[in-house]
Amino acid sequence: MDNAELRERAGALFPGGVSSPVRSFRAVPDEPVPIVRASGARLHDAEGGEYIDYVAAYGPLILGHAHPAVVKAVGQAAAGGTAFGALSPGEVELGRRIQEATGLERLRFVNSGTEATMTAIRLARAATGRDIVVKFDGCYHGHSDGLLVKAGSGVATLGLSDSAGVPESIAAGTGVLPYNDPDALSEWFREHGDETAAVIVEPVAGNMGVVPPGEAFLEALQAVPKQHGALLINDEIITGFRLRYGLSGLLPGADLVCLGKVIGGGLPVGALGGRAELMSQLAPEGPVYQAGTLSGNPLVMAAGAATLDVLCDGRPYARVEELAQYLENGLGTGIRRAEADACVVRRGSLLSLFFRSTPPRDYAEASGCDSDTFARFHQGMLTRGVMLAPSQFEAWFVSAAHTEADIDRTVRAAAEALREASPGPVASSGGS
Ligand SMILES: Cc1ncc(COP(=O)(O)O)c(C=O)c1O
């Protein structure tokens, strides 16, 4: 089956031809590329096409695709049974590694980031006896009803402000504030402090492109909710074990932490953790119900533990930092030479190229980026064998499997694609 036939069959089977909307290329004029195989920093399509990958499955693959240690661990685990529906040593092993690295007193494994944030919110509501949750415009915390309000990359790229099918009564339980605005947070709590159960935040926003937090914002996040008896939920689903081994360190005062992506080594995972007294409110110890047929699955636990084993000496972080810095410099030069109205923002191995002249501080600024130019740029990169997510609001993920030669090729491709893409006639985005 070639790429076109795979796309056609998928289109008939699945809405948008995909199993997750962010994989659709509706916002760029390209056809989505079905991938049949991946290794290291390379994706391979059904027709022998090869791409340097910066999607990295949207974040988990910090070691690259099919890392030998991960493949071996998953194979061995599968041979011993793919699911037990019972406690298994793999959970204890991965849990111990995460606990040691993060200091979280107790944890629960779930199957996705969405489940982790959803459960953290239920726990926060139960612990405080309050209903309202505050999130920030452009932050994404998964697709549970109450969190699908002003939720960044996927919804934003498809031109949806919120999702249909979310009852107004549920959306009304979510307050939305601008990211990086400590005054807005204080004002919210002056008015709604008594009703607010929790604030949930990405410590470095990764779903409106990479938007780092300011110091005053981080301080307010840790002080203001606490003063009003509300909890702080730190969503480290992208940043955990990606910026460094353990948590980002940006929100040490958080009450609950959500993890996912890297801790599952590319298999479906999520986790939440926090103080023992809070976590013990989860069933069966406490009254907050949460469950999962495949939670703590032995294959996932093995992939996660193998990944953390490779990461724990810190060397892959030094390597990805070096590579990402090299990429940032090269893209910066390309932007200057092409005189493009664009800028690069990077935190560790997370990077964004925004089509605006200065780094955005919040979603209002990020959403003003030029999406037509991005669409042309994306096409230019794809035809040169570089796979970027089909949205300006998704981060580029550098992995330890990239090489300097990959970065050189990427930078050359970007220099050409930037010249072609901007300035130029406005192309149809193919979106909406
Ligand atoms: C910060 C953040 N939180 C939560 C999620 C949801 O995770 P999942 O897609 O595993 O449900 C994502 C997914 O991209 C995310 O980036």
Rounded Cα distance, 391 and 406, in Å: 21
Average per-residue pLDDT for the chain: 93
For residue 113, report the distance from its CA to the centre of ligand 1, in Å: 5
- Where do the domains of the chain lie, and which CATH numbers do they carry? 3-66+313-421 (3.90.1150.10), 68-311 (3.40.640.10)
- What pLDDT does 65 receive? 98
Q: How many helices (H) and strands (E) does the chain have?
A: 14, 14
For residue 168, report the distance from its CA to the centre of ligand 1, in Å: 23
Residue 427 pLDDT exceeds 90: no
Rounded Cα distance, 244 and 67, in Å: 19
Q: Give the nearest ligand 1 atom to 142 CA.
A: 6
- What pLDDT does 151 receive? 67
Structure tokens at 164: 């249909």
Nearest to 213 by CA among 260, 254, 274, 259: 254
Known active-site residue 235: yes
Cβ atoms of 136 and 293 closer than 8 Å:
no
Residue 335 pLDDT exceeds 70: yes
The protein residue whose alpha carbon is closest to atom 16 in ligand 1 is 238
First-to-last C-alpha distance (Å) of the chain: 29
The protein residue whose alpha carbon is closest to atom 4 in ligand 1 is 141
- What pLDDT does 161 receive? 55
Tokens 């999130």 belong to residue: 135
Q: Give the nearest ligand 1 atom to 113 CA.
A: 7
Rounded Cα distance, 22 and 306, in Å: 28
- What pLDDT does 160 receive? 52
Average pLDDT over residues 416-429: 69
DSSP H or E run through 387: strand 386-387
Known active-site residue 58: no
- What pLDDT does 45 receive? 95
Per-residue pLDDT tens over the stretch 46-81: 999 999 999 999 999 999 999 999 999 999 999 999
Residue type, 120: A
- What pLDDT does 425 receive? 42
Average pLDDT over residues 226-235: 98
Residue 186 pLDDT exceeds 50: yes
Q: Radius of gyration of the chain from Cα atoms?
A: 21
Per-residue pLDDT tens over the stretch 347-384: 999 999 999 999 999 999 999 999 999 999 999 999 99
| pTM (2 d.p.) | 0.95
Q: Give the nearest ligand 1 atom to 20 CA.
A: 9
- What pLDDT does 166 receive? 85
Q: What are phi and psi of 140, to 5 degrees?
A: -115, 135
Alpha helices (runs of H) in 25-138, residue ranges in sequence order: 68-79, 89-102, 113-128
Average pLDDT over residues 291-319: 97
Residue 15 pLDDT exceeds 50: yes
Residue 156 pLDDT exceeds 60: no
What's the pLDDT band for 426 if we cut at 50, 70, 90? Answer: very low
Average pLDDT over residues 258-273: 98
Residue 423 pLDDT exceeds 90: no
* Active-site residue (options: 51, 54, 58, 140): 140
Average pLDDT over residues 195-213: 97
Cβ atoms of 257 and 249 closer than 8 Å:
no
Rounded Cα distance, 378 and 422, in Å: 12
Residue 158 pLDDT exceeds 60: no
DSSP H or E run through 327: helix 315-338
- What pLDDT does 430 receive? 33
DSSP H or E run through 319: helix 315-338
Return the best residue to mutate from 22, 111, 135, 141 for the ligand 1 pocket (most ligand atoms within 8 A of CB).
141
* Active-site residue (options: 53, 137, 181, 235): 235
Structure tokens at 186: 């204080």
Residues with CB under 6 A from ligand 1: 58, 112-114, 117, 140-142, 202, 206-207, 235, 237-238, 260, 270
Average pLDDT over residues 311-337: 97
DSSP 3-state assignment of 343? strand
The protein residue whose alpha carbon is closest to atom 7 in ligand 1 is 113
- Proportion of the chain above pLDDT 70, given as a percent: 95
Residue 98 pLDDT exceeds 60: yes
Rounded Cα distance, 268 and 142, in Å: 14
- Looking at the DSSP bridge assignments, the partners of residue 39 are 42
Structure tokens at 405: 């030669």
Average pLDDT over residues 170-184: 93
The protein residue whose alpha carbon is closest to atom 13 in ligand 1 is 142
* Active-site residue (options: 181, 245, 255, 261): 261
